[in-house]
Structure 1
């Protein structure tokens, strides 16, 4: 059934990767700005620590909005197709990001400045909440079953590219401009650049075809009438387990890419460019290795890789803090790399795993909801909790303990989930594996 579609897999993978790269660029450019300049510009009446916490608070709003985006866009994807979701989510995130670049600072318009920032950050998160589900289903539902992990892994390379683009632009600008110029207008340029990227992404996406699985559902009239209600009623346990499982990945990623930047520059006195360089090098390696980890998911199954990633995180969090504390670039790089490799062991396979866990009629809603709730649990709170835990003079062991605890929670959640990799006794959709989890369905 799929073989006539396989030749275009490369084009599909490119389109989904481009989209996630652009959307995550938008999301990360904000995170970097929050760590570097948003505190003093938009919350000048706060102390430096409170200003950083407030800037990370606006950062967190983007995460809270993401599951709401899944609730908004997921049902559209399940009712009307995966393609409309890809276009609408990209437009929303792109426009909100460009608008951030135009918000005047607190000194100009007072309290309206942080309020506008919050609203736009919320809209960014809303768009990103729709993006991921659409992008992974585009590849997962087109791919031949035995290579689904590999092809679905490509959208997961997008965040690494988005991160490198966002931070590379910020780095170049902060190197080229003096502090005054960077603070007055330099930091805004990457936000304006998002407009060009969104335009390019839309060009790619308008040419895409709908997935075979969705067309099949539409032809047989098997689409869910109320996908969100169906997910909440019949699949709530699955949503909570996937969210809990993915929480550690988000916690680790944002500890490395957001909190460590703020901590290293403010507390350890490491130059911003040095730290960003170490983080970016680690993210680049992670991006390159993502398809390999995704391919391993096709060989050994999704669940074993998720469990391995959790165990690796438990082992590595205290060494990560010790290596960061040295302030030595090669050692900090090593700390970041170890953490991100543990992260990608899990996250490379989630784009095949989550769609396989949910049945096709509610897949766009269920997979996106689990993925983005994990973001709230792990991503939204982590920079805030970590900043609060690292205010003393000694090494921030509290941060390592917190991350280890999250990793153990995620390990427990993955242990309760079934394996879904298609095999001879588990048909192409991998769905029979999930049936035991949905006992509530029969009663509905």
Structure 2
């Protein structure tokens, strides 16, 4: 289990590094380079639109790779998705800007971002399922929380490289070539991940399936459509919270509030470090008290914290911004620490790879793709404190809370052996 969890962790960290480095670049530099004819705000919105395309591609990736995972095994999904995401990320770093090739530049950016999302749509299902289906039932949330730490590590790697380059290069150097370096580094990381995953064993649950679904998506749509919609709605709040902190606030802080890139990245990264460190603890609580109760607590906390988070961001004070981000990410991880155990337990093994991944990634479309765009628009129309953004995020959290309330609990209950009668 330790070797399997470590390989899954490394892979998810690399894949999410690829995904997050684009989001950071979109917030900091892609607008002026690829949409120079737009105004500052319109350029940022256009860059966030290409960012959102990755989320739209993720459910398609979960259908494509979920079919492979349910028909041919979880292991091939891990290798193919990592290769696709890594190659497309390196290619983003090679795309010439608008000044060089004109409108072809943003088109290429859009295509490559779509391929990134396609690969990541298959990654989560493969990595999480392989871990979940090997893990002992009473500690499934704990073991599956290990690959769930991968997004935190990927985010820290992506933003750490961006922060180092931002701090050491001039603005002209960063805009000219510095922003490309994190994308090129993805190639080496992908090769390392492929090497780690090449020796993993197939899931025992998959080997035990006697009647494989011929078209897993058809079975999911026919038999589990309500479950897919509920899980997508339930997960939307987590995505919205995370990307409001890590993507929208970065753009808003640097462009509207005038806070330096270095300060914003440092505040966000510090909050992500704490969030990642506490993920296994939250997962242990999920094994002890159940998946759904923990998710509902996280949703409620998110709904209560969005207005304070926006107010703390508007102060421009680094410590207060950090506290605002930290509260939001702690609410997020209270939900998402157990999701890797919860979603697989909701679906039968023969369609699990497709069903769990589609529900997970549709939640990304609802919460992750739209949030930076909607929040940027609301903040532009608002006053000095973007209360409209807080109201939007609170509304999503309440919607997700209702969806979690309609889902069943899945935590395995250990049955004690009957005690012998006295006498």
TM-score range, shorter chain: over 0.9
Match of 1:143 in 2: 135
Q: Equivalents in 2 of 1:175, 1:334: separation in Å?
A: 23
Q: How much is the aligned-residue C-alpha RMSD, in angstroms?
A: 0.9
Alignment of 1:17-416 (within 5 A): 17-217=9-209, 221-391=210-380, 392-416=382-406
CA distance in structure 2 between the aligned counterparts of 1:131 and 1:213, rounded to whole angstroms: 18
Q: Distance in 2 between matches of 1:314 and 1:189?
A: 37
User: Over residues 313-372 of structure 1, what are the superposed CA-to-partner deviations in whole Å (9 max), with x where a residue is unaligned?
Assistant: 111010001111111111100000000000000000000000000000000000000000
Distance 1:265 1:175 in 2: 14
Q: TM-score, normalised by structure 1?
A: 0.93
The Cα of 1:50 is off from its aligned counterpart by 0.3
Residue 37 of structure 2 aligns to a residue whose secondary structure is coil
Deviation of residue 272 (structure 1)? 1.0
- Find the aligned partners of 1:366 and 1:152 in 2 and give their Cα distance: 17
**Which digits, 9 at most, give the CA deviation of each residue in 1:22-80, with x for residues without a partner?**
00000000000000110000000000000000000000000000000001000110000
Deviations 1:270-319 (A, max 9, x none): 11100110000000000000011111100000000000001001110100
Tell me the CA shift for residue 425 of structure 1.
Answer: 6.5
Matched residues in 1 for 2:391 and 2:414: separation? 42
**3-state SS of 1:235 partner:** helix
Q: Deviations over 1:135-191 (max 9, x none)?
A: 101110000100001001111100000000000001111111111111111100000
Provide the secondary structure at the position in 1 that maps to 2:412: coil
Would you identify which runs of 4 or more consecutive aligned residues in structure 1 move more than 4 Å? none
Distance (Å, rounded) in 2 between the aligned partners of 1:425 and 1:91: 43
Encode CA deviations 1:369-427: one digit per residue, 9 max, x unaligned. 0000000000000000000000133210000000010001000000000000011479x
Q: What does the per-residue CA deviation read over 1:92-129, in whole Å, with 9 as the maximum and x for residues that have no partner?
A: 00000000010000000000000000000000000000
Return the TM-score normalized by structure 2. 0.97
